[in-house]
Amino acid sequence: MASSTTATDATSEKYSSVRKHYKIVVDCIRRLDQAGKDKQNIGAVSQPETSLIRDRLRESCEKLLFTSPLEYGKKAEDQIWKKCFYEPIQILRANKERLSEKQKCWAVMFLQSAVGYYHGFLLRLQREFGVDVNV
């Protein structure tokens, strides 16, 4: 009887964690959408507050992905790519002629960090799921 109670507690705890991270993801996406409304505002992409929101989104999406891969895996990875990397890159590309030297340096560092993030992400997928990924 004790083992079924422990299993129920673990399931309940997992569900609670998933629900918490899902709420964080939804909130971060809403906040990033508000920050990125003006596609001409290059500065909004590189603001420390926006970077912190992207970091929080990335962490929560990873937790969802690795806690409930069948339910949230694909959607979580899509949100990491779209909100954390693709949309900022698109804003930078659309305004590349107007970038200051400081913004160009930030853009290069952002792209390098994106490559580094995905390299580490692939290694973690390999470790967590036993998938052979040649990186």
pLDDT band (50, 70, 90) for residue 125:
very high
Q: What pLDDT was estimated at residue 44?
A: 86
For the chain, what are the domain ranges? Answer: 2-99
pLDDT in tens, 111-124: 999 999 999 999 99
What is the reported pTM? 0.86
Greater confidence (13 vs 127) lies with: 127
Instruction: Note the pLDDT tens digit of each residue in 8-38.
Output: 776 778 789 999 999 999 999 999 999 888 7
Q: Does the pLDDT at position 134 exceed 90?
A: no
Here the tokens at position 20 are: 């918490």
